[in-house]
Structure 1
Amino acid sequence: MRHSNPYFTRRRTLTAMALAGLSLTSWAQAQGTDFPSKTITFSVPFAAGSATDQLARALALAITAETKQPVVIDNKAGASGMLSAQTVARAAPDGYTVLITTNTTHAANEHLYKKLPYDPVKDFAPITGLGKGGQVLVVNASAPYQNVGDLLAAAKKAPGKLSFGSGSSSSRVAGEMLKQLAGVDILHVPYKSNPLAITDLLGGQIDLMITDTSTGVPQIKAGKLHALGYSTRKRSAQLPDVPTIEEAGVKGYDMGYWFAAYAPAGTPPAVVNKLNQLLTRATQSTGAKAFFDMAGSEAWTTTPDELAKFQAAETQKWGKVIKAAGIEAE
């Protein structure tokens, strides 16, 4: 008859319990049932105060209120969003680092730069679309231009003398599209974010820009900037008296933008789905609705698969626009 050693029996029991614990933890993670159990970080590719930042903060507050877990904002402005995108691409695929971004990082950059430090498709797990909106063509309130026609006439009279700023690819391509369709030569001045470009526009260092409405409208309403045209084919509810750029005479002009959320590639599908649910509900929160109303944009949510397909179509569209605008990859 064999007598068991109490020491080894206890050791086997503890080992079994530990393995069971690990198994349960892994199962819970795979099912997303324990998510989130700690702080989530929203990485934002643009500066504090930008449209993407404002939306991210509204979503963060809503998710914190629902889950009781903190959601912090990590602004990594610069390099057309590449710093933030690269950070998330390299983050642990556990759902606790989320990229709140735009078409800049996930549709335009691959056509604007010869080499990216991330792959917009392979390095990410799409979560959901977040919103869509348009941009507004603005000049300093003291500028002599009363409408788009005045501005373009001045640009044609003095090729290369006027300058436009941009702090995102949406803003950049919108300006380049205006040049291409109107047949004018306007100097491009790059910025790390649209708010920084607005500062120089107010200071007279640049002559115009096409910016997201959440950045431009407060300055327009304060009387510091003058709105000449809206970038999509439908007027902004916030600026109903401002004609679209196409209405103002630039035929075929239509350039909007979109927000979306991505996790690192390899994030468990159950966690992605949980994030999808949290973010979808967050877009309907009071804070998010206030942002969309203020920005003149609207909530737009998708399934992960729908976002992947939309991104593919948008990437092709932006590629054609960038090529037609004659923008050379840097």
Structure 2
Amino acid sequence: MIRRSLLACAALSAFAMAVHAQDNYPSKPIKFVVGYSPGGSNDILARIVAKRLGDSLGQPVVVENRPSTGAIVGAVVTKQAPPDGYTLMIGASGPLVINAATYSSLPYSPQKDFIPISTIATFPLIVSVKADSPFKTMPDLVKYTKENPQLSNYASSASTFQLATELLKERTGIQSQHVPYKGSGDSMKSVAGGETTFSMLDPGPAAGAINGKLVRGLAVSSDVRNPSFPDIPTLKEQGIDLSIQFWIGLFAPAGTPTPIVRLLEREVAKAVQHPETLKSMAQLGLTPTSSTSEAFTRQIAQEIPAWTEVARKNNIKADQ
């Protein structure tokens, strides 16, 4: 009887300490793990949001870069962190959805090892060709590749872009061979230099290249035109029934208390609407967004099987 009482007291004490920790959250600096190198869109966005959350929560939010292929290391670091809200991950579609679709095995489960807190931004891809190419519209590009399949190729720097391009090929009949590159900047340079026929670029490298007259944007993959590229029509405007949007979001290790998740969810919603955040995201070609944890979880659950099917049909495997 005495032992039961002691155990009950210990359990109550642990519960009380957990509640107290949640009530006082955050009481020390928070860390954002970013699975990419400094200077890229994910890193820049992480630092923008870190500044906003740090100001509103009253504790510093520091960014820790853990770059690796597929951003896998950053995901593992976050998975292994204590679920107390002090280690969070700025995660993108790549490690949370595309990896699940293209790797036969991963050292983490995208759907079991993390709690999606909120989306932060979405972005389309931009179908880009050499600035002085004869292609002025998507129908021009489609027609050329069908007539000259042996002369057509496309650049991509990761499975994310390869899957998107293969889906574009499926919907348009484009005939083109894949040429892999190490980074989006390299893909852009291959198009600008005429080494490849086209590439679906993310907004960061595309913006500078388009503004610098190195490449020409033929289409954006979103449902509506991107404010950063108002003169580039959507795929749908050109008769192609396809919409692709990728995202960047905030994640916590599985087991993080719900009150902390809810607090962060609310703070992200405020942070992405801050005037400085809106300005910075526009420069990156990103659209600020936020969501509930539940909605974000459902979105990922829907996207994984959809992209897995694209990978299966085109035999795209990242670990082979």
TM-score, normalised to structure 2, is 0.84
Partners of 1:160 and 1:63 lie apart in 2 by 51
Q: Is the CA contact (8 Å cut-off) linking 1:102 and 1:259 kept in structure 2? A: yes
Shift of 1:127: 1.0
Partners of 1:172 and 1:44 lie apart in 2 by 22
Shift of 1:160: 4.8
Q: Which residue of 271, 291, 310 maps to 1:282?
A: 271
Q: Is the CA contact (8 Å cut-off) linking 1:100 and 1:262 kept in structure 2? A: yes
- Structure-1 residue corresponding to 2:225: 235
Tell me if 1:67 matches 2:57. Answer: yes
Partners of 1:292 and 1:97 lie apart in 2 by 24
Partners of 1:59 and 1:253 lie apart in 2 by 30
Partner of 1:259, secondary structure, is strand
Q: Which residue of 236, 252, 256 maps to 2:245?
A: 256
Change (3 A) 1:33 1:290: same
- Structure-2 residue corresponding to 1:304: 293
Tell me if 1:318 matches 2:307. Answer: yes
Residue type matched to 2:131 in 1? Answer: A
Change (3 A) 1:275 1:85: same
Partners of 2:81 and 2:32 lie apart in 1 by 12
Partners of 2:181 and 2:88 lie apart in 1 by 24
Partner of 1:247, secondary structure, is helix
Q: Is the CA contact (8 Å cut-off) linking 1:130 and 1:283 kept in structure 2? A: yes
Shift of 1:199: 4.2
- Structure-2 residue corresponding to 1:28: 20
Aligned residues: CA RMSD? 2.7
Q: Is the CA contact (8 Å cut-off) linking 1:170 and 1:256 kept in structure 2? A: no
Shift of 1:76: 3.1
Partner of 1:87, secondary structure, is helix
Change (3 A) 1:26 1:192: farther
Q: Is the CA contact (8 Å cut-off) linking 2:235 and 2:241 kept in structure 1? A: no
Shift of 1:228: 0.9
Give a deviation string over 1:98-128, Cα, whole Å, max 9, x none: 1112222222221111111210111111211
Partners of 1:224 and 1:288 lie apart in 2 by 28
Figure out how many residues of one structure are paired with residues of the other and give that number: 308
What are structure 2's unaligned runs of at least 5 residues?
1-11
Partners of 1:54 and 1:291 lie apart in 2 by 9
Matches for 1:90-109 after TM superposition, within 5 Å: 90-109=80-99
What are structure 1's unaligned runs of at least 5 residues?
1-19
Tell me if 1:219 matches 2:174. Answer: no
Shift of 1:224: 2.0
Tell me if 1:210 matches 2:208. Answer: no
Residue type matched to 2:60 in 1? Answer: P
Shift of 1:82: 2.0
Partner of 2:233, secondary structure, is coil
TM-score, normalised to structure 1, is 0.82
Change (3 A) 1:243 1:150: same
Partners of 1:163 and 1:45 lie apart in 2 by 29
Q: Which residue of 277, 280, 297 maps to 1:291?
A: 280
Q: Which residue of 160, 178, 182 maps to 2:172?
A: 182
Change (3 A) 1:61 1:193: farther
Partners of 2:74 and 2:153 lie apart in 1 by 28
Tell me if 1:329 matches 2:317. Answer: yes
Q: % of aligned pairs identical?
A: 28
Tell me if 1:265 matches 2:265. Answer: no
Q: Is the CA contact (8 Å cut-off) linking 1:42 and 1:71 kept in structure 2? A: yes
Q: Is the CA contact (8 Å cut-off) linking 1:78 and 1:192 kept in structure 2? A: no
Residue type matched to 2:225 in 1? Answer: R
Shift of 1:227: 0.7
Matches for 1:134-145 after TM superposition, within 5 Å: 134-145=124-135
